């Protein structure tokens, strides 16, 4: 089983302007980790059609899976479906099941033209269901289009993730300690990386209020090797007279 790769395209002027704090990257990363799919790149881009179309085509070719968020509501700046259709060179067509479901939801007279627009998907797309809203997510080829509002994004990925073809599961082992500085362990950490060339050995300084320290992480596709490397990381912290703790530092920033 080979590792699978993913890219996440966040379509949203509101993230780029600083108006909104991203809350979806972490949710997607954790859902993909659980399926053996590795998030390799995130791009945040504005609601500009040419920019969206070019980026969708670049990223869907370079990664096994592409996820997008944002731009699927009923207003004039919701252009994601039209851009994905153009990227795939297919027309937007009315999705009859989605149309009927939306129609049934609104009182007479309120299923207006703007709301009907949400039933128009690129030809060949299949809807991504979610338990909390009528937002029209969809999958087309290896591209999965989701809502930007975190509660809806979360519900969509909960529904979608179990259906994604799984990749090779990545195992990780991590140890952290307060008060240690990276400069005190850098050379010995390099030696551990050399001892385990098939793994990624990483070092992540953290700060949380007045607490600070370093987390050391080993990752790879062979669980036994990862456990051995984790044990070497633990020993490194102990040799330096720090008290290693297993896992992530509390509320790492």
Which residues are near a second copy by CB under 8 A?
10, 13-23, 25-30, 33, 38-47, 51, 73-77, 110, 112-115, 117-118, 149-151, 172, 182-187, 189-190, 193, 200-207, 215, 217, 219, 248, 252-253
- Asked if residues 135 and 128 have their Cβ atoms less than 8 Å apart, the reply is no
In whole angstroms, the minimum distance from the beta carbon of 22 to a second copy comes to: 6
Q: How far apart are CA 109 and CA 91, in angstroms?
A: 28
Nearest-angstrom CA–CA distance, 15 and 251: 22
Contact call for residues 233 and 175 (beta carbons, < 8 A): yes
Rounded least distance, CB 66 to a second copy, Å: 14
Smallest separation, CB 28 to a second copy (Å): 8
90 or 206: CB nearest a second copy: 206
Shortest distance, CB of residue 124 to a second copy, whole angstroms?
26
Nearer to a second copy, 87 or 217 (CB): 217
Rounded least distance, CB 99 to a second copy, Å: 14
Give the nearest distance from C-beta 116 to a second copy in angstroms: 10
What is the C-alpha separation between 136 and 85, in angstroms, rounded? 14
- Residue 241 CA to residue 41 CA, distance in Å, equals 37
Nearer to a second copy, 44 or 168 (CB): 44
Nearer to a second copy, 22 or 158 (CB): 22
| Minimum CB distance to a second copy smaller for 150 or for 169 | 150
Burial class (CB in 10 A: 0-12, 13-18, 19+), 43: middle
| Nearer Cβ to a second copy (39/146) | 39
CB of 77 to a second copy, least distance (A): 5
**C-beta of 18 vs 96, nearer to a second copy:** 18
Distance CA 177, CA 158 (A): 33
């Amino acid at each position: 089983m080979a590792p699978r790769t993913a890219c996440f395209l966040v379509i949203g002027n509101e993230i780029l302007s600083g108006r909104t704090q991203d809350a979806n990257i972490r949710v997607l990363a954790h859902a993909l980790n659980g399926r053996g799919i590795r998030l390799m790149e995130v791009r945040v881009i504005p609601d500009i059609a040419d920019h969206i179309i070019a980026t969708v085509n670049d990223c869907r070719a370079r990664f096994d899976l592409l996820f997008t968020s944002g731009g699927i509501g009923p207003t004039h700046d919701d252009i994601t479906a039209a851009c994905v259709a153009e990227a795939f060179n297919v027309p937007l067509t009315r999705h009859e099941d989605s149309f009927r479901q939306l129609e049934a939801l609104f009182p007479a007279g309120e299923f207006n033209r703007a709301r009907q627009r949400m039933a128009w998907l690129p030809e060949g797309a299949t809807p991504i269901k979610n338990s909390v809203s009528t937002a029209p997510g969809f999958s087309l080829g290896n591209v999965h289009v989701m809502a930007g509002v975190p509660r809806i994004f979360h519900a969509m990925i909960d529904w979608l993730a179990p259906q994604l073809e799984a990749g090779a599961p990545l195992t990780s082992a991590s140890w952290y300690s307060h008060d240690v500085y990276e400069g005190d362990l850098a050379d010995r950490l390099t030696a551990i990386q050399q001892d385990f060339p098939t793994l990624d050995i990483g070092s992540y300084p953290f700060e949380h209020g007045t607490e600070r320290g370093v987390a050391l992480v080993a990752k790879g596709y062979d669980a036994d090797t990862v456990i051995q490397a984790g044990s070497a990381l633990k020993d490194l912290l102990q040799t330096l007279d720090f008290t290693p703790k297993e896992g992530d530092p509390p509320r790492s920033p």
